[in-house]
Amino acid sequence: MYTNTVLVATQADLAPTLPNYKLRSVHTYQDIAHCDAIIVDVSLPTPGGLSLLREIKQRYATAYLPVIALVPDCAPALIGQALEALADDWVCMPSQEDTLATRVALCIARAARDVATNPLTRLPGNLRINEEIQNRSEGRAILYCDIDNFKSYNDRYGFYAGDEVLQKMAAILAQQLELHEDEGFLGHIGGDDFVVLSSPEQAETIAVGICNAFDAHAGNFYNEADRARGKITSLGRDGTIQEFPLIALTIAIVTHGGKQTTPSQLGQLATRIKRRAKIKEPDGAKSTYVLYQEVPIAL
């Protein structure tokens, strides 16, 4: 969800230069929050603008955010280091300050078009997911994750609360992937569906971590009464008032056996596996996963 918010790591006052954006100062990676772009002065002292830029681009949750590097006096060495750290653009300060607003707008537009991010979670969307599955899934495990009872939660608590659940879900996935995987991929298919690519050896460990982290936090999405009851009343798909368990996750793990399988085929297989995973304990409020170890040639 685009907020017109730009995070700024610089000692300069950019408010007059960027009057159409909400600017928020950041100093470390822990200050990074939901935004449309980040501006980093690469000459900042310890811990350093370049270090912050590198960390932003190395983390799953922020790697696809556009970052503009501010380079004092167009120093060639700093420009080269900023580009090596994967800055999306650079602006010389102060000589090119009047172009900063245009460069920020172009970076945001380019990120939306080229990366095809989900506007709510800012994770890569379907175009990038399909490319990753098509080109990089051989010898990888694919984790399809969705949230059970999410529709009933949305109907009961509203879309804004539902958006908070999805943003937290994205954060949990990114955190668990970072803990266990160096060459993974994280994407948001849409709605409450997410996809993770990992090594087969780490797939179950990641799934367990995701389930445990989500279950540990799920109660925080509810008011005290619903949390104590362990269920909610909400409108069912047939239009009647029904009781639903608290939200939980179902994860289908598909290990790609090296066969030529399309994203559509993998999606169909994951849907079948998830149906199997949804046969849970009676309360239905515990996250779970199912492992399918080899993709068949034909579905």
Claim to verify: residue 24 and residue 106 sit in the same structural domain: yes
Cα–Cα distance for residue pair 276/287, rounded to 1 Å: 13
Task: State the CATH number of the domain containing residue 211.
Answer: 3.30.70.270
Which residue type is seen at 120? L
- Which are the contacts of 177, defined by CB distance < 8 A and separation ≥ 6? 60, 184, 186, 196, 198, 206
Task: Give the pLDDT of residue 280.
Answer: 53
Same domain, 74 and 146: no
Query: Measured over all CA atoms, what is the biggest interatomic distance in the chain, rounded to whole angstroms?
Result: 66
Domain span including residue 60: 5-115
Last residue of a domain, one of 91, 115, 139: 115
Distance, in Å, from the CA atom of 225 to the CA atom of 298, rounded to the nearest integer, reads 48
d(CA 247, CA 51) in angstroms, rounded, equals 38
Tokens (6 digits) for 20: 């159409």
Kindly give the residue spans of alpha helices, DSSP state H, lying in the chain. Answer: 49-58, 76-84, 100-110, 126-136, 150-157, 159-180, 200-218, 224-229, 263-277
Domain membership flag for residue 132: yes
**By three-state DSSP, how is residue 16 classified?**
coil
Q: For residues 175 and 115, give the distance between their C-alpha atoms in angstroms, rounded to a whole number.
A: 21
Number of domains the chain is built from: 2
Question: pLDDT per position in the chain (299 positions), as tens?
Answer: 567 889 999 988 899 999 999 999 998 888 887 888 999 999 988 678 999 999 999 998 888 889 999 999 989 999 999 999 999 999 998 878 889 999 999 998 887 776 677 888 889 888 888 888 887 767 788 899 989 999 999 999 999 999 999 999 999 999 999 999 878 999 998 899 999 999 999 999 999 999 999 999 999 999 999 999 999 998 777 778 889 999 999 998 887 655 545 666 666 776 777 666 665 554 556 898 888 765 443 33
CA distances in angstroms from 163 to 190, 255, 265, 290, listed in the order given? 12, 30, 29, 26
Please tell me the total number of residues recorded for the chain in this structure: 299
Q: What is the pLDDT of residue 95?
A: 76
Residue 79 has a CB neighbour count (10 Å cut-off) of 16
155/223 same-domain check: yes
Q: Based on the domain organization, do 61 and 138 belong to the same domain?
A: no
**End-of-domain residue from the set 66, 83, 115:** 115
pTM, rounded to two decimals: 0.71
197 and 98 together in one domain: no
Q: What is the DSSP letter of 293?
A: -
CB-based contact 71:93 (threshold 8 Å): yes
Question: Does residue 266 fall inside a structural domain?
Answer: yes
The reply to whether 111 and 130 lie within a common domain is no
The answer on 161 and 104 residing in a single domain is: no
10 belongs to a structural domain: yes
Sheet containing 193-198: which strands, arranged edge to edge? 185-190, 193-198, 141-148, 248-255, 288-292
Boundary of a domain, candidates 71, 95, 115: 115
